[in-house]
Structures are given as structure tokens and as C-alpha cells.
Amino acid sequence: MTGSWLAFWDKPHAIYVNARHKDVHYRLIAEEIAALVPSRQARVLDYGCGEALHADVVAAACAELFLCDGAPSVRAGLAARFAGDGKIHGLAPDAIAHLQQNSLELIVLHSVAQYLSTAELQALLATFRRLIAPSGVVLVSDIIAPELSAAADVTALLRFGATNGFLLAALGGLTRTLFSDYRRLRARYGLTHYSEADMLQLLSAAGFTGERAAKNIGHNQSRMAFVARPQ
């Protein structure tokens, strides 16, 4: 992840239009990840987890949950929030390499790939291939196809807001985004896009058998998710 994107996530931002938006966003993701945990004995890695407000929902479904994020302030918040939960461990990205080989049953990379270069994603997938158990699963989700317009993201957010009681706040948040650091960074650095074929090729090159999932994690179903299993 470029230093500029990392710096953005390491300070207060307006990606979430209000507290209600942030809460339902993280709760939905946690519930959908928890549903993918294969057993109560599983060890799970959520890489690029963000604030993970409801990670306890995932932890309740597994034996150990590793939360990894590159932003120091985010990691500090995670450590404070889950200090009393012995199942949850916060990690910096460089600590992932020290996890035991083939020790994880589920790895989730949600809404991260778009902020990485293709070379960075390839390196990360190689690390995941070493860490995942032979019967484990890697989920790569929130992938943006080349043809997907920003309007699709706007529509998804407004629908999510209407369903969850923050539609007016979402409309105001979209206006604020026009003048935000996020928009300036996106204009300068862009986001990395992948077609379905591109992602399947990347997963295969990293030693996985991949397939597109029936649905994406989270509220935006115009984006894609992929399930990968070790070859």
C-alpha cells in the first residue's frame, strides 16, 4: 500500500458518513466472515481489517482471530477495544510472516486489493499460500472490475443507507467526499481494478484454485469476491 493511502487510513477520515453507517458496515462484514468460518477450532486471519468494530462476532465462531492492519492508529484502537478477548490478536503486516506455515483455516482480504499494486497483491497471495492449511480457504473480496463506474458505488451506498436508516447522512457524506482527501488520493493514485479473468489468473499463479463467489462481502454487490483453495 502506498504511503499516501496508508497515511489516509491512519488518521480521522469521513469515509463513514456517521456512527450508524460505521457500525452497520462493520457488523455486516463481521457476520458474513463469521458465517465462513469452517469450525470452532479454526484459526482466522482478517488482513487489512480496519477498525473491525464487531470482530468479537468472528472470534466467537473460531478458536483464534488475527486482525492485521497497516495503520498504527488503527492497530492501537483494536488493541484497546479487544484487550479483554484472549481469542483476538492484533498484528502489524510484517508480523504475518512469523505465523506458522499451514496454520490458518480462513484468510480474508476484504476491500484491500484496490489499494495495492498488482505486484504487492501477488506477494501477499504468496504469503497467504504459505500460511493457509491444505483444506483452508482464502477469500479476496470487494474487487473492482475495470468497467465498474463510481456511480455503482454511489448507488450501493444510498441503498445501504436507505435500508439502515442513514440515507440523509449518506447524501451529505457524498457531498463531503467531493472535497475530501480520499477523492484527491483516488484521482492521483487511482484504484487497482481486476477483471474476473485477471483475478483467477493471479490466484492460479499463486498456487490456488479460485472461483468467483456467488456474492461479495459487505453491502456493495456490484463488486466481486473470490474463493481460493490451495492447489
19-69 tens-digit pLDDT: 999 999 999 999 999 999 999 999 999 999 999 999 999 999 999 999 999
Q: Print the domain residue range for 145.
A: 3-230
What average pLDDT score do residues 177-198 get? Answer: 78
pLDDT tens digits along 72-127: 999 999 999 999 999 999 999 999 989 999 999 999 999 999 999 999 999 999 99
Other CB atoms within 10 Å distance of the CB of residue 134 = 7
Contacts of 100 (CB under 8 A, 6+ apart): 131
Other CB atoms within 10 Å distance of the CB of residue 231 = 11
Q: What is the domain-level CATH number for residue 145?
A: 3.40.50.150
Residue 13: what pLDDT?
84
Residue 1: what pLDDT?
59
Residue 40: what pLDDT?
97
Do 4 and 189 touch, CB atoms closer than 8 A?
yes
Position 115, amino acid: Y
| Average per-residue pLDDT for the chain | 93
Q: How many domains does the chain have?
A: 1
pTM for this one? 0.94
